[in-house]
């Protein structure tokens, strides 16, 4: 049995992982849906990693899944605990010394958004919720998500990412082909340039854990099985 550690993106609580958590448990695994101190102006990236480590406790067989802004926290956890696999789920990929607030300019994210809008047209309001995030999420789940608002402190966005290099842990990247926040063409380039790997791909938008939880669970379990022979921190990518 593996333990999937689910790290949320900016301004999100653990609720949005619930459909995926249920799917992982149906497949015989444990899941820890992490809450980060997102609204705490005294909490930076180190405190985010502390929160993840504390909520993991003494669990083992760790598969860390970092979503979106969680990409700045997931690798820090891998330096603190023995992790079998790090899965970057349509996540920001940091470089040493780069603050999250610098990531967009450094990667050309704003330009990528403009180019994607030019190709695909302006997203329509599909069911009254922010189409950047919820265009393919069932309406009842998008509505429930609105009941779990979280603020997001600017503090971690100002802190340089502290690792001198990527952690020595097997890393998988899963991008979402219909992601309107991190367009697929953009993410393919970022992953190639920063991780030196070819990302896997899944249909769905940025909140794929709500729109396709069963398919996502299958992908995550496949990664766990792929790296199952490894124990603790594996070799570099």
The CB density around residue 111, as the number of other CB atoms within 10 Å, is 12
Alpha helix ranges (H) inside 123-237: 131-134, 139-145, 184-195, 208-211, 213-226
Q: Judge whether 115 lies within some domain.
A: yes
Q: What is the pTM of this model?
A: 0.92
The per-residue pLDDT for 129 is 85
Closest CA to 169 of 96, 229, 87, 94: 87
Write the DSSP symbol of residue 152: -
Q: How many domains does the chain have?
A: 1
51: which DSSP letter?
H
Q: Is residue 215 part of a domain?
A: yes
Walk along the chain (237 residues) and give the pLDDT tens digit of each residue.
Answer: 999 999 999 999 899 999 999 999 999 999 999 999 999 999 999 999 999 999 999 999 999 999 999 999 999 999 999 999 999 999 999 999 999 999 999 999 999 988 887 665 555 555 678 899 999 999 999 999 988 888 999 999 999 999 999 999 999 999 999 999 999 999 999 999 999 999 999 999 999 999 999 999 999 999 999 998 544 443 334
Q: Residue 63's closest CA among 48, 83, 82, 78?
A: 83
Indicate whether 181 belongs to any domain. Answer: yes
- Residue 231, in any domain of the structure: no
Strand arrangement of the beta sheet that strand 171-176 belongs to:
30-33, 3-7, 62-67, 83-89, 171-176, 200-202
pLDDT at 176: 98
Tokens representing 164 are: 């001198």
Does any domain span residue 236?
no
Instruction: Give the residue from 227, 229, 210, 213 showing the smallest Cα distance to 86.
Output: 227
Beta bridge partners of 66: 7, 88
In this structure, is residue 235 part of a structural domain? no
Task: Residue 207: give the domain boundaries.
Answer: 3-226
Please, which residues bridge with residue 173 across strands? 88
Are β-strands 83-89 and 200-202 bridged in parallel, bridged antiparallel, or unpaired? unpaired
Query: Residue 115 maps to which CATH number?
Result: 3.40.50.1820
What tokens does 27 get?
């497949």
Collect all residues with Cβ–Cβ distance below 8 Å to 32 and sequence separation of at least 6: 3, 4, 5, 6, 55, 56, 59
3 state DSSP class of 213: helix
* Strand 83-89 versus strand 30-33 pairing type: unpaired
Kindly state whether residue 237 falls inside one of the protein's structural domains.
no
User: Tokens 């802004």 sit at which residue?
Assistant: 69
Owner of token pair 């301004």: 11
Q: Which 3 state secondary structure label does DSSP give 67?
A: strand
Residue 234 lies in a domain: no
């Amino acid at each position: 049995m593996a333990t999937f550690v689910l790290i949320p993106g900016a301004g999100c609580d653990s609720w949005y992982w619930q459909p995926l958590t249920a799917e992982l448990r149906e497949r015989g695994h444990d899941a820890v849906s992490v809450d980060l101190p997102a609204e705490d102006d005294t909490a930076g990236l180190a405190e985010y990693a502390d929160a993840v480590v504390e909520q993991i406790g003494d669990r083992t067989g760790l598969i860390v899944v970092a979503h979106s802004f969680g990409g700045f926290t997931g690798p820090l956890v891998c330096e603190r605990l023995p992790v079998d696999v790090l899965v970057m789920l349509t996540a920001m990929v940091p470089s040493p010394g780069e603050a999250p607030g610098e990531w967009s300019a450094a990667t050309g994210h704003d330009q990528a958004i403009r180019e994607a809008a030019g190709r695909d047209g302006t997203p329509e309001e599909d069911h009254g919720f922010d189409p950047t995030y919820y265009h393919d999420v069932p309406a009842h789940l998008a509505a429930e998500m609105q009941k779990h608002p979280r603020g997001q402190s600017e503090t971690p966005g100002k802190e340089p990412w502290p690792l001198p290099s990527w952690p020595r842990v097997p890393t998988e990247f899963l991008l979402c082909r219909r992601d309107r926040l991190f367009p697929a063409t953009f993410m393919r380039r970022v992953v190639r340039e920063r991780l030196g790997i070819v990302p896997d791909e899944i249909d769905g938008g940025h909140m794929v854990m709500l729109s396709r939880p069963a398919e996502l669970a299958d992908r995550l379990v496949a990664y766990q099985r792929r790296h199952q022979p490894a124990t603790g921190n594996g070799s570099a990518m």
